[in-house]
Amino acid sequence: MKKISRFSNGSLAWCLSEYPVIKENTGELGVIELGEQFDFNVKRVFFLRNLKDEAVRGEHSHKELKQLLLCLKGSLEIHLDNGNEIDIIQLDEKSSCLYLDGKVWRKMINFSKNALLVVLCDREYKFDDVVDDYKSFKKIVGHQNGV
């Protein structure tokens, strides 16, 4: 199962895909591999856990950043906007991961009590240029989309 969205210039905005999970007597082994689920060198890893009820995360985009989001426990809802298309994706612990181009506006809500979200990034935080104003995002993505 793959769900792909592209900017109007053809570049990848997001891709929801599955990763293999091997069930063993002792538990499960999930495998994420460079060249399979993502195509960038990992420079930073962060995670979200113990989120409060009604927590809203994200509500921003980035000028340049590649990320892979993995919900390892529980579930959450992520709203995505690439300037042309808006989608809502439910991420949970069932072996799907979400690749995001930085220019995608994202908002994460409806975290389950036990949610654990791990994010792999292609740049260190100090080099990350966050866009937290929706109008600025629309200008940036408008240029990306040839508007």
Catalytically annotated residue among 60, 62, 79, 143 = 60
Tell me if residue 143 is catalytic: no
Helical spans, DSSP H, in the chain: 134-144
Structure tokens at 59: 């509500």
Amino acid, single-letter form, for residue 72: L
Amino acid, single-letter form, for residue 10: G
Q: Are 65 and 136 in contact (CB under 8 A)?
A: no
Q: In this structure, what DSSP letter does residue 52 have? A: P
d(Cα 39, Cα 60) in Å, to the nearest integer? 22
Looking up tokens 């997001």 gives 14
Which residue numbers are catalytic?
60
